[in-house]
Amino acid sequence: MLKATAYLNIILAIAYFLLYLLNSNSYTMAGVLIVFLFGVLVVWSEEKQVKFKALHYIIGAASLVFVRFLLVWVFNVIKSSVEHQYFNNTWLYILLTIVFVLSIVLQFILMYLADRKRLKA
């Protein structure tokens, strides 16, 4: 499940970048790159059966910081859509962002649980 979530995050990071961030600022692109790197690192660690190290948790924490930014952005989009009564173009963005946020958080939780399981074994 952890590996599947990591692959999902990689795909969603690429989709989010291609659909919404081509003309965005560098902080946003750095966040997407961190999520992509976190996914690749988790997939590599799972395939090699390597124990998760501090680097995994640092990059995972940076991904969670990016999640906070995503939540603020989606809140602002919803708020302005309600104010202007215009949801036509925002549903796809809201849906993609919410799925992206949930998958990042789920990947971090699954990584933590897998690490605890490996420590007990």
Number of domains making up the chain: 1
Q: What is the pLDDT of residue 105?
A: 97
List of residues 6+ apart from 59 with CB closer than 8 A: 34, 37, 38, 41
> Is the pTM of the predicted complex or chain greater than 0.85?
yes
- Does residue 53 register a pLDDT over 80? yes
The string of pLDDT tens digits covering residues 92-109 is 888 999 999 999 999 999
Q: What is the pLDDT of residue 118?
A: 82
Domain ranges, residue 54: 2-120
